[in-house]
Amino acid sequence: MWRFAARYCRFGVRSERTMSSVPVAVVTGSNKGIGFAIVRALCKQFPGDVYLTARDPGRGQEAVAKLQEEGLRALFHQLDIDDLQSIRALRDFLKEKYGGLNVLVNNAGIAFKVHDSTPFAVQAEVTLKTNFFGTRNVCTELLPLVKPYGRVVNVSSMVSSSALRGCSQELQQKFRSDTITEEELVELMNKFVEDTKKSVHEKEGWPNTAYGVSKIGVTVLSRIQARMLNEKRKGDHILLNACCPGWVRTDMAGPQATKSPDEGAETPVYLALLPSDADGPHGEFLSNKTVRTW
């Protein structure tokens, strides 16, 4: 599995040619919870370098050490998806060291607790900043680096489906459209935040869940990105999907949830490791390894 990584050129520096041939996978927000479980599974099954990323280098290195104790080799790179400079530093690193990337799992996300007293408008702005806009920035910077036969997984949530059903018919139509553009989606996500600030979001047809709307954004963004890949890189056989990991016992969902983090990682890992001869799923929303109607 690691045969490429051991080759060095004469002066002890890995040669560009050799490094570019090592497959590489990146998982965002992966020092704990579902992200950590995804990294663990990829370390066991992916034939190349697996990068665990986190905002805090200390926590990231701790997580890598924990996997090391299990006999698994993950590598660490700092990444804060709220920080464009941090995203671009990772982009440049991957470009330079590997000439691109093979697997990207966008897992990083946040959620306020149900009984959190933070004003809803603040919750909306903060949640969308990370879950939608942060994820979109990672995609903008890293998707062009994805190599032929690459796999991209955007971790969304079934809450995006229930939140979609809670939207007005007009909004549902827009979010289900096969022709919606990324610009139009961004406009709608910004409108939600603005509407919450004016306390008119329900009147304007939005559901009362900032997390749900942020994940509508992730699912629809995935559908748009898959369409763009079809138009611009059809021959590259890249597969991109959104998925719901399920209700998983994490700091975010709490101890009552029905799935373990390893069980929650199953669908994202399945999509990250789709075989090279697979022509789908692509541009779909899945849970329990099954395509769901959007």
Active site residues: 211
Identify whether the C-beta of residue 92 lies closer than 8 Å to the C-beta of residue 114.
no
268 cis-preceded (ω within 30 degrees of 0): no
Q: Which residue intervals of the chain are DSSP H helices?
A: 16-20, 33-45, 57-69, 84-98, 120-128, 135-142, 159-165, 169-176, 182-197, 210-232, 261-264, 266-272
- The angle formed by the CA atoms of residues 168, 193 and 257, to the nearest 5 degrees, is 75
DSSP state of 273: T
Q: Give the N- to C-terminal CA distance of the chain in Å, as an integer.
A: 38
- CA dist., res. 129 & res. 122, Å (int): 11
Q: How many CA atoms lie within 13 A of 21 on its CB side?
A: 11
